[in-house]
Amino acid sequence: MQLKLNGIQHIGIPVTDMAASMNFYWSLGFTNVMKSPFTFEREEGICVMMRLGQMIIELYQMPRHKLDEIKNRRDGHIDHVAFDVDDIDHTFQILQTAGFSIIESSPVFLDFWEKGCRYFNILGPDGERIEFNQILK
């Protein structure tokens, strides 16, 4: 298996109050480098990428009907770790061939960043989500 990972791209954290979370990370020195709405179950959520040096934290607020679920999590609030890759399709093929448990049937496009990104997730041995993400250039 010749999987090429460039490094951790971001850590995803679901939040219940985007303004409060953004202010918290601003106070630590992070800046907002991307903000984009997304649709989940026909309702809108918001995603913000906060950067400090090479670190990126993805803050995302789910639609209103999912907020109680986020507030009542028992297993912490880090949702996923995302690895940066150069070729999402090749990475998908390698992991699929190797028999990893892939959540999506193919890489998914999001209208994030300047030209979008494509991602997919696998499940780790304890059910943790590991995302592979290519920012399109």
Chain segment 67-96, per-residue pLDDT in tens: 777 677 666 677 788 999 999 999 999 999
What is residue 76's predicted lDDT score, i.e. its pLDDT? 63
SS3 35: strand
What's the pLDDT tens digit per position in 42-75? 999 999 999 989 989 999 998 877 777 767 766 6
* Beta bridge mates, 61: 46
pTM: 0.69
Pairing status of strand 7-14 against strand 55-61: parallel
**Sheet order of strands, 7-14 included:** 31-40, 43-52, 55-61, 7-14, 80-84, 129-135, 117-123, 108-110
Asked whether residue 127 carries a pLDDT value surpassing 80, the answer given is no
Residue with tokens 């070729």: 87
The domains located in the chain, with CATH, are: 7-135 (3.10.180.10)
Higher pLDDT, 70 or 39: 39
